[in-house]
Amino acid sequence: MKPRYLSVSLPFVLTLLLPLRSSSAAEAGIPHLRRSGSATQLIVDGHPWIMLAGELHNSSSSSLAYLQPIWPSLTALNLNTVIASLSWELVEPEEGKFDFSLADGIIEAARQRHLKLVFIWFATWKNGDGAYVPAWVKTNWAHFPRCQHHPGINTTQLTALSEDNVKADARAFAEVMRHIKQIDGRQHTVIMMQVENESGVMPTSRDHCPMAEAAFVKPVPSELMSYLVAHKEELIPDLKEVWARTNFRESGTWTEVFGEGPTADEVFQAWQVGRYIGRVAAAGKTEYPIPMYANAWLVQHKGQAPGQYPSGGPVARMMDVWRAAAPSIDLLAPDIYLDDFKAVCAEYTRNDNPLFIPEASRDESAGLKAMYALGHHQALGFSPFGIDSLSETNVLRDYYKVLGRLLPLIAQHQGKETLRGFLQYQDEKRTEFGLGDFRADIEYPSEEGHRPGGGLVIAVAPDTFVMAGANYNIRFASLRDKPGNTAWLAIDEMVPPGAGSSLSSAKRSGPVPGVDLVLGRRLNGDEAWYRVNLGPRPRILLGKVYRFQ
């Protein structure tokens, strides 16, 4: 299907594709997810909201006074969304008695700065443990049973197999969502919820408490088997390979269906943890059904055994188990601290899982990673962890400024073949891809010690391209089935109104509908001979290409 383009000479009209199906959330006007072409978008107040986010350190949001001087630095970083935690122990310090003062204060502070919020529910799990469980739960291990790494030896983790545990967590979360609806149901400051954090069991591959031991020798639940059978052809390859070793057996115990050893343990634990978190999310959605996700502490390297990372969490190879176990969870999100950022993104976009990156390294490539995720995978958003430690540096600030200018255009092109992101990995020298009526040919710096390159390109017409990013150069060549010579017809900087624009550029203002930028310098001289270099700092260029014989 040939891509459709907006004419760059017509007035801008933002049109959104109709959702594949309506939902009660959409009808109520609250934040919800909607399909747009091949992408899924977060819709807030009727428009796509792409999160240029940052996650606070775990303890920062436990004190409004501590947060007060941090807010200005967050806006200086050009964030539009902040991810902050709400802990069960502070929300329900005594059983049945709730305190929402922290949530109220954070919401009010975000509103004052025109920021959106994603709250993390720190409860049964935080990094595979139960550090944020209330004291009245921690000290009553008889009523709130524990996970056991070895039979008979309790740990600080709650077991996922206890009905009392899940009911207590779900009841508290439902109260949180009821309160958020009461104070924010019209203003929509809170746009998503993360349910628990990096769930799973460590350092063993599964729970060995009495309830877990009894469940492990029983048949695999019919709900899971029915899901696997119905989705057999599109299962994640890792899980499908495991199941194939038993000739796709459709009934039996966990070891009969998934084999002996840690793999069966991990599938079992993923089902138990997924069911638990799914019930917590469902209880919250009954009160206020905004989008909810679960995040994953990733497998760190090939061959790493379950339990060396939290076993049972929503790692890529367990995504199908989680889909079956927790249908109330809208997406599974990776916390990416691994070198191969692109590989993880690819894993978490399989089978139409919308990509959202709630945690990432705040290293020198953070801004480029945001551009890649939004451009190549139509991500809902990107968020470095510990944003309150970033100190307003160029690592993110200037990239978010560029992306902020382009968000309306990115939202228009998500789900179409007119938007592409790219990111240099290790010593990669170049990348190519078709876009519009031409082929983008991108080169990265190759000198020793260079900074990584990357960015995104949007075809606003078959021969006209918005280019953003840093540390790469680009030209547009003929497609292989349409040979011929190509050259730049014009290259222009795109700058904010009044920022380096002149009288002549003002006459050429508004070159791309929906983008609050004007044309700056015309770069048809030495700066744009054959290839255009975007340089070391992120910027936006508009290029038009022509073909000749």
- For each of the domains in the chain, give its residue range(s) and CATH number, in order of start: 24-416 (3.20.20.80), 421-548 (2.60.220.20)
Tokens of 294: 């679960």
**Nearest to 195, CA basis, from 42, 313, 108:** 313
Give the count of beta carbons closer than 10 Å to the beta carbon of residue 220. Answer: 22
Per-residue pLDDT, 3: 43
- The pTM assigned to this predicted structure is 0.92
> CB neighbours of 95 closer than 8 A, spacing ≥ 6?
134, 136
Per-residue pLDDT, 29: 87
Rounded CA separation 174/328 (Å): 14
Per-residue pLDDT of the chain (549 residues; tens, 9 = 90+): 444 343 333 232 223 233 333 456 766 789 999 999 999 999 999 999 999 999 999 999 999 999 999 999 999 999 999 999 999 999 999 999 999 999 999 999 999 999 999 999 999 999 999 999 999 999 999 999 999 999 999 999 999 999 999 999 999 999 999 999 999 999 999 999 999 999 999 999 999 999 999 999 999 999 999 999 999 999 999 999 999 999 999 999 999 999 988 999 999 999 999 999 999 999 999 999 999 999 999 999 999 999 999 999 999 999 999 999 999 999 999 999 999 999 999 999 999 999 999 999 998 899 999 999 999 999 999 999 999 998 767 789 999 999 999 999 999 999 999 999 999 998 899 999 999 999 999 999 877 667 899 999 999 999 999 999 999 999 999 987 877 899 999 999 999 986 655 445 444 555 787 788 999 999 988 877 789 999 899 999 999 999 887
**Nearest to 343, CA basis, from 305, 376, 318:** 376
Give the count of beta carbons closer than 10 Å to the beta carbon of residue 215. Answer: 16
Residue 83 CB burial class (10 angstroms; 0-12, 13-18, ≥19)? buried
Per-residue pLDDT, 1: 40
Per-residue pLDDT, 24: 66
Q: Taking the chain, what is the end-to-end CA distance rounded to the nearest angstrom?
A: 28
Token pair 């990776």 is found at 334
Rounded CA separation 398/512 (Å): 21
Per-residue pLDDT, 82: 98
User: Positive or negative, the Cα torsion across 438, 439, 445, 450?
Assistant: positive
Per-residue pLDDT, 510: 57
Report the relative pairing of strands 464-470 and 539-548 from DSSP bridges.
antiparallel
> CB neighbours of 152 closer than 8 A, spacing ≥ 6?
none
Upper half-sphere CA count for residue 441 (Cβ side, 13 Å): 14
Per-residue pLDDT, 219: 98
- DSSP secondary structure, 57-84, as one string: PTTGGG-HHHHTTTHHHHHHTT-SEEEE
